[in-house]
Amino acid sequence: MTDGGMSGGIGFAAALAAWDAAAPAPARACGLKVADLLRGFHPDHRPGGMVQLVAGPNEGAPCPAQLAALLQSDSLLEDVDLAGATILDADVLVLGGGGAGCVAALAAARAGARVLMATKLRMGDGNTVMAEGGIQAAIGAEDSLQRHFEDTLRAGHFAADKALVAALVGDGPDAIRWLVREGMSFDLADERQRMGGALLRKKPGGATAARLLSYRDFTGLELMRALREAVLLQPGISVLDGHPALELLTDDRGRCGGAALQDLGQRRLVLARAGATIMATGGAGRLHLAGFPTSNHYGATADGLVLAYRAGARLREMDSFQFHPTGIAWPPHLEGTLISEAARSAGARLVNGRGERFVEELAPRDVVASAMLRELAEGRGVGRDGKLGLFLDTPSLEREQPGILAQRLQTLSHLAHRAGFDPAREPFLVRPTLHYQNGGMAIDTDGRSALPGLLAAGEVTGGLHGRNRMMGNALLELVVFGRRAGASAAADARQERPRNLGLNHLAGWRRGLLAAGLGLEAKGPLLFPPYGNVTPQDLRRHAA
């Protein structure tokens, strides 16, 4: 897997010597306008990377080729497959067991719904648990909801839905209180003042105020631990691990009424029927768009987008992905693994093979990543064992703030240990890694999609981040919209129930594919990345 157009860079030993001689690294002017930098070097803009969708609600919209192939694929199921399938009934079906799915399930159950949560892997496994940096909420005296609102819009290049962003930032402080009530801890400015003190706030890239709340550098883990227990103990939620959705169920009027799940353990189909269905399946990093490594969880294969799109839900900004600046470039066995933005927030610099700083490290992620890709493309990267990257200068950070690596950047130190070096003495070799799907299912402020009966929350949705997400808005989004979608779903489930449930949407979908000249050979969703060595067809195979 290689991304084209990169030269060999500067050898590791020479680059290390240049870094050592120049530290702390002097800055070199960028010399390019932000717009030109993004156009020239951001992977979203690489020539030939996007194709136009030719079928479905977003016909004519640009989309990465790999994702388009999945979005415009045919179902794995036929009507006859539903015969004899096990049937489960619930008020609300939640697809996905990451942060958004757990919050939505809790909200729906507490609103009185009987909830069924189906997950592909295990409840709690997802990108949420891997989130390191933190969660944004405008709680500082100098900060305001308005500033959070404008920062989010600006970072997203004003492509976001203002009403959604207002809902996101407006619910922010209450989301933090909700998390504390669920038993999640946060770092304090002074750990002795648990009551009446102040939360520790950091400034995320692209923000005008210190607004990032965190729990050490494993905020997502702390959040997910509390949510996992909450879901396990919440009466009214049943969890089905190992049950990925293969298709949404629709009724004869097009309303979504649940999903067909594949029971991976018993290799059988389960029809989960529900008054409302919440899509919380997360992102698409494991598609390795443009050949990039990814920081994402194993299950991030865009399944929810594929199912929702096929059933008639509209998507937005499907051509916009976030590349996190600091994925590990070397050693190979950790390639793509994330080094939290907390390192740069704390003051760690990015340094090229010549020992120069080349970007303001706390600029928005798309800008930093593009600047890094430019360095790599123009031969100023650092080459080591065939891997190309740039230095993240942890030794200078430790020198300037002694003890910071051990105390505040534990995950980073742990990763360095596993990579076999001391981050206080040797810089990390990093390069951008595919991190987040900026776009997704279009929703309203209640979490409803355009398809009746189908709601969504979390990374699978679009409209909140425009064309670039700010650090700390993903965790916030999953709490805010998980709660909103859960409550809406519980209310919707009390409405009229779907009738004549089945795969009613597939006939029209297939006609559309054929009309667009696409054929029905390609099947989706993917479920597992290719190196999982198993296809959905393998999983569906039964005895003759």
Q: For other proteins, give the closer residue by CB, 137 or 377.
A: 137
**Residue 153 in contact with other proteins, rule: CB under 8 A:** yes
Q: Which of residues 252-281 bind other proteins (CB under 8 A)?
A: 264-267
Query: In this structure, are strands 454-456 and 268-279 parallel, antiparallel, or unpaired?
Result: parallel
Using CB under 8 A as the binding criterion, the count of chain residues that bind other proteins stands at 94
DSSP letter string, 84-126: T-EEEEEEEEEE--SHHHHHHHHHHHHTT--EEEE-SS-TT-S
Q: Which of residues 310-339 bind other proteins (CB under 8 A)?
A: 331-338
**Residue 30 in contact with other proteins, rule: CB under 8 A:** no
Q: Measured from the CB of residue 52, what is the shortest distance to other proteins in angstroms?
A: 25
Q: Which residues are catalytic?
A: 365
Stretch that binds other proteins, among 56-64, 67-75, 170-178, 509-517 (CB under 8 A): 170-178
Q: For other proteins, give the closer residue by CB, 14 or 210.
A: 210
User: Would you say 504 and 250 are in contact if contact means Cβ atoms under 8 Å apart?
Assistant: yes
Q: Which of residues 217-236 bind other proteins (CB under 8 A)?
A: 218, 220-221, 224-226, 228-230, 232-233
Q: For other proteins, give the closer residue by CB, 12 or 19.
A: 12
Give residue for tokens 């598609």. Answer: 287
User: Would you say 118 and 112 are in contact if contact means Cβ atoms under 8 Å apart?
Assistant: no
Q: For other proteins, give the closer residue by CB, 292 or 509.
A: 292
Q: Measured from the CB of residue 347, what is the shortest distance to other proteins in angstroms?
A: 23
**Residue 142 in contact with other proteins, rule: CB under 8 A:** no
Question: Smallest Cα–Cα separation from 452: which of 282, 315, 317, 308?
Answer: 308
**Residue 289 in contact with other proteins, rule: CB under 8 A:** no
Q: For other proteins, give the closer residue by CB, 20 or 174.
A: 174
Near other proteins by CB under 8 A: residue from 162, 253, 399, 494: 162
Query: What are the angstrom distances between the C-alpha of 535 and each of 7, 215, 241, 532?
Result: 35, 38, 18, 8
**Residue 178 in contact with other proteins, rule: CB under 8 A:** no
Q: Which of residues 349-408 bind other proteins (CB under 8 A)?
A: 385-387
Near other proteins by CB under 8 A: residue from 12, 19, 41, 186: 186
Give residue for tokens 């998390």. Answer: 179
Question: Smallest Cα–Cα separation from 464: which of 451, 453, 478, 450?
Answer: 478
Cβ-Cβ contacts under 8 Å for 115 (sequence gap 6 or more): 90, 91, 92, 93, 94, 105, 108, 109, 236, 237, 238
Give residue for tokens 């999609």. Answer: 449
Handedness of CA 145, 148, 151, 156 (dihedral sign): negative
Give residue for tokens 């997203």. Answer: 156
Stretch that binds other proteins, among 53-61, 176-184, 431-439, 446-454 (CB under 8 A): 176-184
Nearest-angstrom CA–CA distance, 142 and 174: 18
Near other proteins by CB under 8 A: residue from 144, 236, 238, 502: 144
Q: Which of residues 410-429 bind other proteins (CB under 8 A)?
A: 411, 414-415, 418
**Residue 72 in contact with other proteins, rule: CB under 8 A:** no
Near other proteins by CB under 8 A: residue from 198, 507, 515, 522: 198
Near other proteins by CB under 8 A: residue from 17, 180, 507, 515: 180
Torsion of CA 7, 11, 12, 14, to 10 degrees: -140
Q: Which of residues 439-498 bind other proteins (CB under 8 A)?
A: none
DSSP letter string, 309-374: HHHT--EE-TT-EEEEEEEEEESGGGTT-B--THHHHTTPEEE-TTS-B-S-TTS-HHHHHHHHHH
User: Would you say 75 and 525 are in contact if contact means Cβ atoms under 8 Å apart?
Assistant: no
**Residue 122 in contact with other proteins, rule: CB under 8 A:** yes
**Residue 1 in contact with other proteins, rule: CB under 8 A:** yes
Task: Please tell me what DSSP assigns to residue 301.
Answer: S
Stretch that binds other proteins, among 77-85, 131-139, 401-409, 496-504 (CB under 8 A): 131-139
Query: What are the angstrom distances between the C-alpha of 432 and each of 188, 346, 390, 499?
Result: 31, 19, 10, 48
Binding-residue pattern over the window 290 to 309 for other proteins, x denoting contact by CB under 8 A = ---x---xxx----------
